[in-house]
Amino acid sequence: MKNELAGKTFAKLLDVMAQLRGDNGCPWDKEQSHASLRTFLLEESHELLDALDKGDSAQIREELGDLLHQIIFHCQIAAESGAFTAGDVVRDLTEKMVRRHPHVFSGKALPDSDTVLKQWAKIKANEKDGETPKSALGNLPKSMPALARAQTITERASQVGFDWPDILPVWGKVEEELAELKTACSSGDKQRTGEELGDLLFSLVNLSRFLGLQAEDVLAQATERFIKRFSYVETRLHEAGKGPSAASLEVMDRLWDEAKELERKEKNKI
């Protein structure tokens, strides 16, 4: 019954989108294209991520709707050109979900999530695009945030068995890459230095995965901490009638340490 209601509601949504793009529709909606909507799709995705971080159900619901709006917008544009329809998208997704979950839909139960992920990776690797098998790493867009893309790549490689046995050699790899970066810096070769810095960052992303953390998230959190602490430094300096450019590094370091101490006390209160 709920599925029938959802189906009718979705159909109504598609009708509204078609009307907005129709002859007597909205001038702005009618002007849009796949290319012009790129910015809005990215914006709505990030707003949903922020809502998820806050854990606000009402906001999550609203942002999911805004993201769905972007999806059906693209579907309508494609339907108008005869490329595909929203029904095609839903059908393809349904078939893919069933195909990649044989442990649910074919009665082949699996014991745990790790086994499920490894099976998922194998199924993806065996799916063919014409006669060419797809890579187990997939085809992640280069427009993804670099840290998130790197971590997903390491996760996918791990799912097909290309991984360290435990965290100990991962620490060793980080130390190895740090030593190589120091050597590259001493050489004065900027290109080599950049490559070694990239290798170090990639090894740190892999370490994040072994620690059960998302590198993209922890860096975002670190950036927010920096902004908060620096704002404290600026506020204290302004209270003294100064700005950062007029203060010594020693004074700013002392205020920075004060900000960190205040954070520690705030955490202890929780």
Final residue of a structural domain among 61, 86, 111: 86
Q: Which of the residues in the chain have pLDDT under 50?
A: none
Q: Which two tokens stand for residue 1?
A: 């019954």
Kindly give the residue spans of alpha helices, DSSP state H, lying in 111-248.
113-126, 146-159, 168-187, 190-210, 215-239
Q: Domain of 265?
A: 216-269
11 and 46 assigned to the same domain: yes
pLDDT of residue 128: 61
Identity of the amino acid at 225: R
Number of domains the chain contains: 3
pLDDT of residue 56: 92
Q: How far, in Å, CA of 144 to CA of 151, rounded?
A: 11
182 and 224 assigned to the same domain: no
Final residue of a structural domain among 86, 109, 140: 86
pLDDT of residue 4: 74
SS3 state of residue 244:
helix
187 and 174 assigned to the same domain: yes
pLDDT of residue 112: 86
Whether the model pTM is above 0.85: no
194 and 228 assigned to the same domain: no
Q: How far, in Å, CA of 179 to CA of 147, rounded?
A: 21
pLDDT of residue 25: 94
pLDDT of residue 1: 53
Whether the Cβ atoms of residue 24 and residue 96 lie closer than 8 Å to each other: no
Q: How far, in Å, CA of 252 to CA of 229, rounded?
A: 10
pLDDT of residue 188: 93
H or E segment to which residue 17 belongs = helix 2-21
SS3 state of residue 128:
strand
Q: Which residues, at least 6 apart from 69, have a Cβ–Cβ distance to it below 8 Å?
A: 44
For 107-119, the pLDDT digits (tens) are 778 888 888 888 8
Query: Which residue in the block uniquely carries the two structure tokens 């927010």?
Result: 224
